[in-house]
Chains A and B, each alone.
Chain A
Amino acid sequence: MSLITPSHIQLNEEGRLKHFLTTEGLSQPLLTEILDTADSFISTQERNVKTVPLLRGKTVVNLFFENSTRTRSTFELAAKRLSANILNLDIARSATSKGETLMDTLWNLESMYSDMFVVRHADSGAAHFIAQHITPNVAVINAGDGRHAHPTQAMLDMLTIRREKGPFENLTVAIVGDILHSRVARSQIYALKTLGSTDIRVIGPNTLIPKDIESLGVRAYNNMAQGLKGVDVVIMLRLQKERMQAALLPSEAEYYRLFGLSTDKLALANPGAIVMHPGPINRGVEIESAVADGPQSVILKQVSNGIPMRMAVMAMAMGGQNQTRQEEG
């Protein structure tokens, strides 16, 4: 599908971000700039007054065609802490023709003078589609599209890794579980590659690992004992039962026995390895409670880092739109 190839529609003429749709195809300096900007926002989040005036007077629309609690609320908080006005729209998935419905919705929202859309959609490519058809000067942020990409989640994970473990070059990272349905995994792999990680692994049953995954420059394992050896960062993924159309798993108990992150299995990774999970976690399905709540877990730090990361991306994209607007005079 041509809509979801890596594209430069997310950059303006000066190479600055104007939409944020995917981590694929973005340069290392740009990804580093996003991380540095998010780091700067962290310091503002420790103050009594947590808002900065950057997006004062702007209107951000949270356009969620698919349910989400964490992502939507952190985007909402991020927008508010940038002093933007935010409108939350939860739109149930419509059975009618997607293209038409989407465009009708957009035209209506554009008529309300919105400056930015944060889009979550069950269809891969939805945010790209919107970015291509939107009025000039309106920024689009992808908050997760189908199996394709979830770039702000990937970047908040990169921020967490960099803050906890330092530079990416020497880190071995394993992504464990349902790679097949995971937009998070895909966005993480592109970001990790670009940021310099050379040893990226995916671990899971064959049925949940895409056939062509190694073409992305990662190594695939079907065995936790082998895959976790020497790993510095373990990223667990949620089993996405709602996206599974066929019997891809024998049973949850069997999956947990083989691929669940228990205290024993975590001991196979490097001492001091961090444990991550994009949430929501299924305790006892992909991760043991003792691990999720244990000293190596940074799962709640990921949630905290979600706010400064989303502030960074929103501020940069809005800034990139402003530049364009200026050039158009």
Chain B
Amino acid sequence: MSLPQPAALLDKMTRDLQNLTAQEQNEVVMIGIHTGGAWVAQQLHQSLKLDNDLGSLDISFYRDDFTQKGLHPQIKSSTLGDIEGKTVILVDDVIMSGRTIRAAMNELFDYGRPAKIILACLLDTGRRELPIQADVVGERVTLADDQRIKLSGPEPLALSMATIAKQGSPA
């Protein structure tokens, strides 16, 4: 299976996000999820010409697998401005189980009550474990049980495929 080029996907996502937010009454802010999502958000933030600050979210303190895995050894700080009453474009690199997005939304609400959250993901690999769907997707791909996709970056962004030894917990 050949993986798409991120640049082409970002163009498509930019167009879709423009259409989706064209009629938006509220201020639009963008927040990327560490680490890959923050890289993708950086590109989209530029291409959409958003003039407010790009936010970032580290969901380590909100993960639902803390009791199995403990605390992530390298935690970044979440940096976001005021989201109260705003439309938040939440950005991640790959959506799979949906657990990361659930954690991210839980964290977002500890910063304020956004008017709306739009979810944008570079890739959707399916295999959902929670009823969460992205509004904007670069491309949908199908993976075998032992396949995982990894985004490297921030410059240039590149996708690569990895094979995992055993059924791990999805990203």
Contact = CB atoms under 8 A, between A and B. Distances in A.
Interface stretch (A45-53, A153-161, A291-299): A45-53
A315 B112 contact: no
A48 B84 CA distance: 12
B69 A33 contact: no
Interface in A18-65: 33, 36-37, 39-44, 47-49, 51-54
Interface string A310-329: 00000110111011011000
B61 A322 contact: no
A33 B73 contact: yes
Contacts of A319: 66, 69-71
Secondary structure of the B contact surface, majority rule = loop
B112 A48 contact: yes
A44 B73 contact: no
A49 B111 contact: yes
Given A319-B70, A322-B66, A322-B67, A52 B112 contact: no
Contacts, number: 62
A10 to B, nearest CB: 14
A133 B25 CA distance: 61
Interface stretch (B43-51, B75-83, B124-132, B153-161): B75-83
Interface string A115-145: 0000000000000000000000000000000
A33 to B, nearest CB: 6
B77 A39 contact: yes
A323 B58 contact: no
A36 B110 contact: no
Interface string B49-73: 0000000001011100011111101
Nearest to B64: A53
Given A49-B110, A53-B62, A36 B75 contact: yes
Contacts of A229: none
A16 interface: yes
Contacts of B70: 16, 316, 318-320, 322-323
A6 to B, nearest CB: 22
Listed from nearest, the 6 A-B pairs whose CB atoms lie closest are: A319-B70, A52-B61, A49-B110, A319-B71, A43-B77, A40-B75
Interface of A: 16, 33, 36-37, 39-44, 47-49, 51-54, 315-316, 318-320, 322-323, 325-326
Interface of B: 58, 60-62, 66-71, 73-79, 106-107, 110-112
29 contacts: A16-B73, A33-B73, A33-B74, A36-B74, A37-B71, A37-B75, A39-B77, A40-B75, A40-B76, A40-B77, A41-B61, A43-B77, A43-B79, A47-B110, A47-B111, A48-B110, A48-B111, A51-B110, A52-B62, A52-B107, A52-B110, A53-B106, A316-B70, A318-B70, A319-B71, A320-B70, A322-B69, A323-B68, A323-B69
